[in-house]
Every structure is written in C-alpha cells, then in structure tokens.
C-alpha cells in the first residue's frame, strides 16, 4: 500500500526567504505525486503534479517540486515566500489500477510566515 511522510509538522520562515517542504513516498510502481495547499476552513487547492518526464515540475504561485526516485522524495520549493503563502501543505500520491485516482495524503506541514 502507498504511504506519504511529511517529516516537518510546522515550519516558520521569514517573508522573502526561500522554502523547502519535504515529502517522502512509498509506492510500488511509478508514482503519481501531487502537492496541495489548504487555507483554514477551506478545501484543498492543487499546486502542482508529477507523472513522468522532467523531474522538476512548475506549479502555480511560484512553487516548484523535484521528483527524486532514488530518494523516494518529492520536495516542494519556493525561492521567495510571501505572507500569503501561510497555509497547510499536503503531499499526496495517487493510486492506479482499480483504485484509480485515490489519493493518499501525508500528515501535512503548517507554514508560518513572519514579516
């Protein structure tokens, strides 16, 4: 069965600083990987996705993520954080086969941005 680990429960950065959120996955086949963001009381918004091809994927709001098969990682990065990026971030892996599209999420990382 697939699983996702986000080692950092809470990260604090200063506005303008760079950001990296870690994600490690476990999946028996080629993974379909996603990063979502959730603001308090809201649903999840897709930031970016990886299926195949270029291991560096670009997303919305200036985010990018790099897939590293050898490390089973899919870390999210942003070169310069804005105060509006404060939210909770979830990494997820999608299941194929008969579980078409079912997502398994990590525990989430809460991002706090200091002015």
Partner 1 sequence: DTGVSQNPRHKITKRGQNVTFRCDPISEHNRLYWYRQTLGQGPEFLTYFQNEAQLEKSRLLSDRFSAERPKGSFSTLEIQRTEQGDSAMYLCASSETGGVGQPQHFGDGTRLSIL
Backbone φ and ψ of 108, nearest 5°: 100, 150
Angle at 87 between CA 96 and CA 75, to 5 degrees: 50
C-beta of residue 89 within 8 angstroms of C-beta of residue 77: no
Least distance to partner 1, CB of residue 20, Å: 19
Least distance to partner 1, CB of residue 64, Å: 17
Binding segment for partner 1 (CB under 8 A), chosen from 11-19, 35-43, 61-69, 79-87, is 35-43
Selected from 45, 58, 84, 112, the binder of partner 1 by CB under 8 A is: 45
């Amino acid at each position: 069965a697939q699983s996702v680990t986000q080692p950092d429960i809470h990260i604090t950065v200063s506005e303008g600083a760079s950001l990296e959120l870690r994600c490690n996955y476990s999946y028996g086949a080629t993974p379909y990987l996603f990063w979502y963001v959730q603001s308090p009381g809201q649903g999840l918004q897709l930031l970016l996705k990886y299926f195949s091809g270029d291991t560096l994927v670009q997303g919305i709001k200036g985010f990018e993520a790099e897939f590293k098969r050898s490390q089973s990682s899919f870390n999210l990065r942003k070169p310069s954080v804005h105060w509006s990026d404060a939210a909770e971030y979830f990494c997820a892996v999608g299941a194929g086969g008969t579980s078409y599209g079912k997502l398994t999420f990590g525990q989430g990382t809460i991002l706090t941005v200091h002015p």
